Structure 1
Amino acid sequence: MLPQDIVFASNSTGSDLSVFFLMGIPGLEDLHLWISIPFCSVFSVALIGNCTLLYVIKTESSLHKPMFYFLAMLAVIDLVLSTTTVPKILSIFWFNSREISFNACLMQMFFLHSFSIMESALLLAMAFDRYVAICNPLRYTTILTNSVIVKIGLAALFRAVLLMVPLPFLLRRLPYCQSHVISHCYCEHMAVVKLACADTTFNNIYGIIVALFIVGLDLLFIVLSYIKILRAVLSLASKEEQLKAFGTCGSHISAILVFYIPVVLSSTVHRFGRVVAPHVHILMANFYLLFPPMMNPIVYGVRTKQIRVRVLLWFQGKSF
């Protein structure tokens, strides 16, 4: 189906909400097959890396600690984010399969945004873990018990669901009486809102408030945690102790940068959308979606000795 055929089909649907059409990357349709190569490669690395990480954490008893439980949760979140969106993106690139039902679109959007919020919460929880480990090492095991870790995970899930449940209902109440063509690779909230032929002020405000609430608060508490960590580390007597303490935070700091830098870049491009080509915006949005799930297992695999050793033994054909 060619782009002009999609426009005709979407116009012919009238107010029918049964079918929407994903454009992929507008302006780069002729390059979809080539673009699919890095997309598929990154997706494969993300799947293999996160599954390997989960397997190593499950089978290696020395990794049954709070930080690695949080890391396992992060790996699950990254797997859900990848599998929720990338298969459909690849089907657009490979088979020109652009149709998506409205219900499937809302479901994809719900999972995408919910698990992104959960990832932010997990990074905050991991910052708290590092704070306790460095600033209150003697109370580490009594503060971060298994029950506390479960409660943190459930709180992250509850917050994400609570904030995202209104989205499908807010979008369902809007009329879509014109084009049903979504200028994106997946059902992102604002891309769907733009199709509505009604006042979407409330939807726009709600999306901005949620984004500021999540990114702003989580990032603020992460920064505060690391300010306290920095003070504690600098109070240590020797340089060796300081480097060792900083070394325990290296992987987490890398994970924070991997997650938040694409978020900031994508948001910046979105805000200046009028002067930035649409395909640049879409590519940045996909970068934000694909990059963290690929990089997190690599970062922790390289920087964590126990994980690195076990993976090397695995590839050498030795038993765990």
Structure 2
Amino acid sequence: MEFFNSALGKNITFVRPAYFKIVGFIGIPNMNYYYIFLFFVFFVSVLGNTTVMALIYLDHNLRSGKYVAIFNLAFVDLLGNTALVPKVIDIFLFNHYYISYGECLTFYFFCNICLSMQSLNLVALCYDRLIAILYPLHYQVRVTPKIMLSIVAFIWLCVLTCVLIALGLLTRLSFCDSVVINSFYCDHGPMYRLACNDQTPNLVHGNLSIALFAWVPLITIICSYICIGHTLAKISTAKERIKAFKTCTAHLSAVAIFFIPVLTVYNMRANIHPNYRIINLSLTTVFPPMLNPIIYVLQTQEIRTSLKKILQSKMNLRVLPVEDL
């Protein structure tokens, strides 16, 4: 317990518990099957994102600005599911519901960093598609690896700043009534609502974060695709329009699987059972990192070509006669 003056000049007692108890999945029937499913999602996510990162690193043809953003998305997806899924399985499958105060804040930090990065990284990829369609002759100048690295670095700076502010606001809270977090991880909302002192800064920051990492990126992407659609409509032949639009399908798929479930869950949270909300929110958190690498491998010609090239070279090495090795 620590005593010091608040910004308002009042003495405040800060109560920091030794641990929190995470109970999000407790009481939901047949959850053991869900944990097996989560492990499968985690395995596919690690395999897929590692493959995409390895392809981009190994193939010099994939060193353009676009693939800087795709590499960063794969890295964030891998980091996010690695931070979340094993810990969730450990907590609920092995009944380790109690998590220390410091470990809970660390858990919160990495999970929210990755969720926020996914959203803004989709805006960076939208910038790539916008320039490619609207200004194709300027694409090689406006979407260089250096420019995309600068965009990605700026996104990391914004996300780190926002999450660190939220972390600082959490440390000023007193948990003198309850330490039971009704979520599947140390989530900001369920945590600050447990506090017995002023939660207003956390509430304001939470609403601003939702606007910054959900609504602003989505509106930006929608406006960008309105511009893209207007430009595609001016193309003379349908074949060329379809060909140009196909270059956007991977990004549009990634946007859909990220934003639609998240916004649906948050907008319907007052009308659905808390258990269903927690399960749906967990699915919207772990699914995009699993599906993103599959989408980009299946729908991006350059990545498919790179993957085939590497697989063929491996097969050729295996069938070479011993004397040729």
Do they superpose with TM above 0.5? Answer: yes
Aligned to 1:216: 215
Distance 2:134 2:311 in 1: 37
Aligned to 1:40: 39
1:26 partner SS: coil
Distance 2:18 2:311 in 1: 47
Match of 2:282 among 272, 286, 290: 286
Shift of 1:16: 4.9
Aligned to 2:153: 154
**Larger relative contact order, structure 1 or 2 (CA cutoff 8 Å, min sep 6):** 1
Contact 2:16 2:101 in 1 (8 A): no
Worse-matched range after superposition: 169-178 or 39-48: 169-178
Aligned to 2:17: 17
1:41-190 correspondence to structure 2 within 5 Å: 41-190=40-189
Amino acid at match of 1:237: S
Aligned to 1:10: none
Shift of 1:39: 0.7
Shift of 1:111: 1.9
Contact 2:24 2:275 in 1 (8 A): no
Aligned to 2:27: 27
Amino acid at match of 1:175: S
Shift of 1:261: 1.0
Q: 1:319 to 1:57 in 2, by over 3 A?
A: farther
Amino acid at match of 2:23: M
Stretches of structure 1 that go unaligned for 5 or more consecutive residues are: 1-13
Aligned to 1:3: none
TM-score using structure 1 length:
0.89
In angstroms, what is the RMSD of aligned CA positions? 1.9
Q: 1:305 to 1:318 in 2, by over 3 A?
A: farther
Distance 1:146 1:302 in 2: 23
Question: What is the identity percentage for the equivalent residue pairs of Structure 1 and Structure 2?
Answer: 31
Distance 1:164 1:35 in 2: 29
Distance 1:82 1:319 in 2: 35
Distance 2:311 2:95 in 1: 37
Distance 1:254 1:172 in 2: 38
Match of 2:297 among 295, 301, 315: 301
2:268 partner SS: helix
Shift of 1:315: 5.7
Distance 1:74 1:146 in 2: 15
Amino acid at match of 1:260: F
2:30 partner SS: helix
Aligned to 1:6: none
TM-score using structure 2 length:
0.88
Aligned residue pairs: how many? 303
Shift of 1:122: 1.1
Aligned to 1:230: 229
Distance 1:284 1:132 in 2: 35
1:196-215 correspondence to structure 2 within 5 Å: 196-215=195-214
Contact 1:265 1:284 in 2 (8 A): no
Distance 2:316 2:43 in 1: 24
Q: 1:319 to 1:167 in 2, by over 3 A?
A: farther
Whether 1:311 and 2:307 are equivalent positions in the alignment is yes
1:198 partner SS: coil
Distance 2:112 2:87 in 1: 16
Stretches of structure 2 that go unaligned for 5 or more consecutive residues are: 1-13, 318-325
Shift of 1:46: 0.6
